Amino acid sequence: MRPTPVTLRRVQSLIVMSVVAAAEALSQDKQNEVRIQARPQRRIVVSIPDRKLALVEDGRVVKIYRTAVGAAATPSPAGTYTILQRVKNPAWYSGDTVVAAGKNNPVGTRWLGLSRKSYGIHGTNNPRSIGRRASHGCIRMRNSDVEELFELVSVGDVVELHGQRDAEIAQIFATPAASAQPVSSQVLTAASSDGGQ
């Protein structure tokens, strides 16, 4: 049995539609790939000994901030984590105590919750603590600084807390942000999150 010209045209149309659909799907995949590649490689690097935080984007130091880090009795945990939460005007929880957002809130105006449970980067109601070993392990920043950083980072960005000053850390924190020098990068991740100080 021979196919009729109508049947052949239908088959040809189906083939053409399939090829067009496949090309469109491939084009969409390429667009998605370009969008993914266009997202900057961003990480936050904290030098616990220097009590400083650097925002590094695409291998360049964008900004360096002074911080407070964990006190001797409650040290900041060295390691590599990710940002799991971004909260404006957070409440602070400690046991049965809750402090609502406001000037008395120990975590200030912003909370960047890390993948290490109860740890984060946050503001403070005690700006005189900046530059000291004064927190319960979190990274404290001036409210104006954490508000700026908050707008520059996203959930999923990597946060590295370094307990020792190796060559990479020395390079990052010796580099003035205005000159935006390239730095090397290594990325790892860790566990879960919620409130802290």
Token code pair at residue 134: 């004064």
Which position among 43, 52, 122, 142 bears the catalytic label?
122
The verdict on whether 168 is a catalytic residue reads no
First to last CA, the chain: 80
Q: From the CB of residue 69, how many other CB atoms can be counted at a distance below 10 Å?
A: 27
Q: List the alpha helices (DSSP H) in the chain.
A: 5-38, 143-152, 167-174
Decide if 172 contacts 90 (C-beta within 8 A): no
The verdict on whether 136 is a catalytic residue reads no
Residues 109 and 140: their CA atoms lie apart, in Å, by 11
Residues 118 and 177: their CA atoms lie apart, in Å, by 30
Which position among 46, 69, 134, 138 bears the catalytic label?
138
Strands (E), the chain: 42-47, 52-57, 60-66, 69-70, 79-88, 92-94, 97-99, 110-114, 120-122, 133-135, 139-140, 158-162
> 185: closest CA among 164, 168, 171?
168
Residues 127 and 140: their CA atoms lie apart, in Å, by 9
Active site residues: 122, 138
